[in-house]
Amino acid sequence: MSTSKVLLGVVVGLAAGAMAGILMAPDSGSNTRKKLSDRGQGMVDDLKGKFNDFLDGFMSHVETVKDDAADIADRAKNKIGETVKKVGNVSNYNS
């Protein structure tokens, strides 16, 4: 089973347990709805924060890969240029 499925199961289980606990508590309907709303908003805010952290890390990795690819391309271009010059010098020498 993948880690994401396990994590999703844990999150859903925690949410269901919290809601069941609130619904079973002896409190008025309006207070119960407020508690559910507050906890739900807290979970949404937490997930947004985690997603933004994930996205920031992902974009950082993308930038690193992009920079590395540009460096490799520059080195390859320089190496090709050097090889072309060597081949040109050899051709001129043999003529």
- pLDDT of the residue at 94: 55
Print pLDDT tens along the chain (95 aa). 677 788 788 888 888 887 777 777 777 778 877 887 888 888 888 889 889 999 999 999 999 999 999 999 999 999 999 888 888 776 665 55
Residue 28 backbone zone (phi > 0: left; psi -120 to 50: alpha; other: beta): beta
* Residue 75 domain boundaries: 3-94
**Count of structural domains within the chain:** 1
Distance in angstroms (rounded) separating the CA atoms of residues 74 and 68: 10
Distance in angstroms (rounded) separating the CA atoms of residues 95 and 27: 99
- pLDDT of the residue at 75: 95
The pTM score is 0.48
- pLDDT of the residue at 95: 54
